[in-house]
A and B are shown apart, each in its own frame.
Chain A
């Protein structure tokens, strides 16, 4: 019998793995992959609550909006990463220290 808690634990695992990628990877594209994992875990939570706790479709609509914002976010973020690569010839985030005094 699968309950709400099963989905919440899976979503917590996805969130923590995404956070680990954001915290430990140097490559900007890999950090973006971690952010996508985090957004996906939030979406699993929204769909699970929509099914088990609310009984209406509001959670699924919120998940669709999250997907829209993820698409916009990844487009703008990759534009910034490409500009950084053009300026500094590196995709690594810790070398993007142009503003350091």
Chain B
């Protein structure tokens, strides 16, 4: 087994196993912390794919932002001294059948399709090139994304605001 393959299996195993914990854990806190390890595993896969900027963004935005936000959500939607942060499961068997079937279909498609391949290339640093693309060819989507973030910021503040008449 080459070192690359070993590293791939380690990161893939971490992300898939902790994703299973996210889905199956009884406690919401366990789910949230398992999600942390999933994000780390996916960041490792990005590094292996030569996407260094993407891996750093994954760690900064997902681990530093989204996960903290989700933990706030867990804490704010339960009574503060309630240690029983249960998350109940409904219709588990039908859901399991549907997702297992979908997994088989997706794997069969991925393995049978003759994907176009350009072969092996040495990975090079991507950050400078990504910055150039953002300021050039992808300038309009970049501005639209920043506008979307502004709208989401204002919208989230408006939604949770306590109304005077309520």
Contacts and interface: CB of A to CB of B under 8 A. Distances in A.
Given A47-B49, A74-B66, A78-B72, A53 B12 contact: no
B89 A25 contact: yes
A24 B89 contact: yes
Nearest to B78: A91
Given A26-B87, A60-B130, A4 B23 contact: no
Interface of A is mostly: helix
Interface residues on B, range: 35 or more
Given A29-B77, A47-B46, A57 B156 contact: no
Interface of B is mostly: helix
A77 to B, nearest CB: 9
A8 to B, nearest CB: 4
Given A71-B66, A78-B73, A24 B15 contact: no
Contact of B102 (A19, A78, A81): A19
B59 to A, nearest CB: 11
Given A9-B107, A67-B57, A79-B155, A2 B8 contact: yes
Interface of A: 1-2, 4-10, 12-21, 23-30, 32-34, 36-37, 40, 43-44, 47-48, 50-55, 57, 60-61, 63-65, 67-76, 78-83, 85-86, 91-92, 94
